[in-house]
Chain A
Amino acid sequence: MIKFKDSEITPENIYKNRRSFIKSIGLGASSLAISAIPFANKSSASERDKLTSYKDITTYNNYYEFGTSKSDPYKNSQTFKTTPWEIAIEGEVEKPIKLSMEEISEMFVSEERIYRLRCVEGWSMVIPWMGFSLSELLSKVNPTNKAKFVEFESVYDPAQMKGQRYPVLNWPYNEGLRIDEAMHPLTTVVTGLYGKKLPNQNGAPFRIFIPWKYGFKSAKAIVKIKFVENMPTSSWMWASPREYGFYSNVNPNVDHPRWSQATERIIGEGVWAPRVKTLMFNGYGDEVASLYNGMDLKKYF
């Protein structure tokens, strides 16, 4: 069992009330046309931080293993078997280990972590994840001095994952981080969302989430974590190296070669809602900008 604190299990209707409360502030402000005063600006800032609905988070997904359309993962993942599940931590480590999901749930306490997800396609959600820092898990092994990067390998199971029967990407899905990125406290192992068990379409039973990077960096249904010496080639780098870099930090100043990354649409805001400006490092610059000191982020996109 994943251990949740009582305070963390918030019924969705309370989240909803919070939403309508914020909405009413926003509406009041705009209807009085006082957008220039500080209060109204503040309300528009919290507007972008309000939680995306459970329905949108769990029915609008990019998870090509279950199909390329946004509604496919929800439709095609319901019978996906997540037990038993084992995660191997290996590669450049002194002693490789294998842990079952049960063991992981015993060892680490999940907490609520509300992060914004920015998709490389130009949309965003705010998600109340449940999880713990990946660094806690990685500290169970001792990397050798050769280890520089961490590679994440997702499950390969075309019998259960329809999308893997087509060569859309080079399966299994592969992602990677520099060790310092992987060890950063914001890099999260996700075990649930909205106080509930993580749904299959969101990457159950074991996925990571890196809030300052585009969504595709956060690999789902992971089975292998490998410490390596050389920079791994992720599935998307393999598909199109010109368009998807290793770092893929959210950056409004570096466009995708084919579309702009300066703005984003907030999921669930309706037809008439405006785009909002994308924030550097997805708004987590205070925490993570120092990881990239002196790096040309245009070159290392």
Chain B
Amino acid sequence: MIKYFKPSIFILSTIPFLFITYKIFFNKLGPEPVKEITHFTGEWTLIFICLTLSMSPLQKFTNLNNWIKIRRMLGLFVFFYASLHLLTYVGIDYRFSWQPILDDVVKKKYIFVGFAAWILLIPLTITSSQKMMLLLKQNWKKLHRLIYVIAILGSLHFIWLSKTIYFKPLFYFVLITVLLSLRINFKRIFEK
């Protein structure tokens, strides 16, 4: 069973990518296609952040170790979709014209936090291998807690770009807040 679990999750995780690729090449993205791609890849990044963060609570509640076995792969998909999202913005939307991009990163807070979140994903991606895990020992765990910061930055990125307060950005913000608060050890706090 477990033999098929991980490969199936891998295949499922590529579906959004295949879906958007199909839509791009068959011109099915409507009047503002670049915005569609940007929003699509951005939202899937947030979904994978939430999935990644759900694995250890799921393991706690179900007592099954399988969740932890796919966590790292889901984390790599966060980087994959976040990079597609960034590439859409830099490459397709702004066609690598660095001056306006740089202006945006410095001046616009939603772009600043989004870009910061992507930068923070890089060390996590580089140190994702088994080898690195052994090399970094207990520091590995500490380093990978960066995903909590990334999750918060990601949800702020979504809230700050919306024209009015919409349901979706708040939904992800609440979901991420809940997933992060599940990690707080209330028992320990109250015993102190």
The A-contacting residues of B in range 93-113, CB under 8 angstroms, are: 93-95, 100, 103-104, 107-110
Residue in A closest to B23 when the chains form the complex, CB atoms: A271
A239 touches B27 (CB 8 A): no
Interface string of A265-298 (1 = CB under 8 A from B): 1011011101100000000000000000000000
| A contact residues around B166 at 8 Å (CB) | 68
A258 touches B32 (CB 8 A): no
Interface string of B135-169 (1 = CB under 8 A from A): 00000000000000000000000001101101000
Measured between alpha carbons, how far is A287 from B183 in the docked complex, in Å? 61
Question: Is A108 part of the binding interface, using a Cβ–Cβ cutoff of 8 Å?
Answer: no
Q: Of B30, B34, B110, which is within 8 A of A258 by CB?
A: B110
Residue in B closest to A267 when the chains form the complex, CB atoms: B31
**Interface residues of B, count at CB 8 A:** 26
Measured between alpha carbons, how far is A168 from B162 in the docked complex, in Å? 13
Q: Of B27, B37, B93, B103, which is within 8 A of A275 by CB?
A: B93
Measured between alpha carbons, how far is A263 from B103 in the docked complex, in Å? 13
Residue in B closest to A121 when the chains form the complex, CB atoms: B163
The A-contacting residues of B in range 27-63, CB under 8 angstroms, are: 27, 29-35, 37
Question: Is A262 part of the binding interface, using a Cβ–Cβ cutoff of 8 Å?
Answer: yes
Measured between alpha carbons, how far is A142 from B7 in the docked complex, in Å? 76
Question: Is B170 part of the binding interface, using a Cβ–Cβ cutoff of 8 Å?
Answer: no
Question: Is A15 part of the binding interface, using a Cβ–Cβ cutoff of 8 Å?
Answer: no
Residue in A closest to B109 when the chains form the complex, CB atoms: A258
Question: Is A56 part of the binding interface, using a Cβ–Cβ cutoff of 8 Å?
Answer: yes
B160 touches A258 (CB 8 A): yes
Q: Of A56, A60, A121, A259, which is within 8 A of B108 by CB?
A: A259
**Interface residues of A, count at CB 8 A:** 25
| B contact residues around A262 at 8 Å (CB) | 100
Known contacts A263-B100, A271-B24, A274-B95: does B33 contact A258 (CB below 8 Å)? no
B31 touches A255 (CB 8 A): no
Q: Of A59, A121, A260, which is within 8 A of B104 by CB?
A: A260
Residue in A closest to B93 when the chains form the complex, CB atoms: A275
Question: Is A123 part of the binding interface, using a Cβ–Cβ cutoff of 8 Å?
Answer: yes
Q: Of B33, B100, B103, which is within 8 A of A270 by CB?
A: B33
| A contact residues around B108 at 8 Å (CB) | 255, 258-260
| Besides the known contacts A56-B31, A265-B34, 11 further A-B residue pairs in the complex with CB atoms under 8 A apart | A60-B30, A60-B32, A68-B166, A239-B164, A258-B109, A258-B160, A271-B29, A271-B37, A274-B95, A275-B94, A275-B95
A-B contact pairs, 12 of them (CB 8 A): A70-B32, A121-B163, A123-B35, A258-B110, A259-B161, A260-B104, A260-B107, A262-B100, A265-B34, A267-B32, A271-B27, A272-B92
Binding site for B on A (CB under 8 A): 56, 59-60, 68, 70, 121, 123, 168-169, 239-240, 255, 258-260, 262-263, 265, 267-268, 270-272, 274-275
Closest 10 CB pairs of A and B: A56-B31, A60-B31, A271-B33, A267-B31, A268-B31, A274-B95, A168-B164, A271-B24, A259-B108, A123-B32
